[in-house]
Amino acid sequence: MTQDTSTYYVWIGGSCDYGHKERAGDAAVVIEHNGNIISRDVISDLHTTEFRMMLTLMVKVMQEIPEGSDILFLTNAAYIQNFDKTPTAKSANRTSSESKDASSLAISAESRGRKARANPDLIIQCIEEKKRHNSVGVKIVQYHKSPLLIETHDRATEAMAKTRKEFHQKNNRLSVSSEIVASVSMPPCAQEGEDGAENSSHLSR
């Protein structure tokens, strides 16, 4: 692909572990400008999707790149091609919990050829940030022929695994702490296996 020196080329990819209850979603970017890689970034969160994370990262990128720039997002995720399409009344009325529902997003996106515009809150932010620039577009590229796109997916997948691991470590620590507190707060009779009546007789002597 021939690049011009003024455009910011933003390679963007995402990853999500739909098979896990906590469902970590992640997105990563590699930004090229004037023939050089100028920055890399990755974001991660729980109970979300890669689509939501990619839109969130697109907003962040448009905020950070100088105003009045030409920006081209390069990806294999056709979903984000509608990042600047005004949400319909139906999609805009969805609750935030619905927009984070991985199953409904995946089903609606696939069944409608990824034309569904979920995440209306983030799309509205994208539309507003786009106004700051000369041009912002999305180009679909072939994954296996794009080393920098492969890098974004790898970085997103690593972040996803790290986020999930930290989540479980935190939960395990909280679980152990709760067990310790419960054990310490148990009455002596329960700890020693004595019944209440026997303890009462000791105390009355």
Pair of tokens at residue 173: 């620590």
Q: What is the pLDDT of residue 70?
A: 98
Max CA-CA distance within the chain?
95
Q: What percentage of residues in the chain have a pLDDT greater than 70? A: 69
Cα–Cα separations (whole angstroms), residue 56 to 32, 47, 59, 149, 205: 19, 14, 5, 18, 71
What is the identity of the amino acid at 28? A
Question: Which two tokens mark 117?
Answer: 């515009």
Going by C-alpha positions, the residue among 24, 40, 59, 45 that lies closest to residue 152 is: 40
Around 203, how many Cα atoms within 13 Å sit in the side-chain half-sphere?
8
Local confidence band at 62 (pLDDT 50, 70, 90 cut-offs): very high
CA 86 – CA 10 distance, rounded (Å): 22
- CB burial readout 9-34, b (16+ within 10 A) else e: bbbbbbbbbeeeeebbbbbbbbbbbe
pTM for the model? 0.70
Give per-residue pLDDT as tens, 75-103: 999 999 999 999 876 655 543 444 444 43
How do residues 159-195 score in pLDDT, each as one tens digit?
888 888 887 787 776 555 555 544 445 444 444 444 4
Region 51-55: what's the mean pLDDT?
95
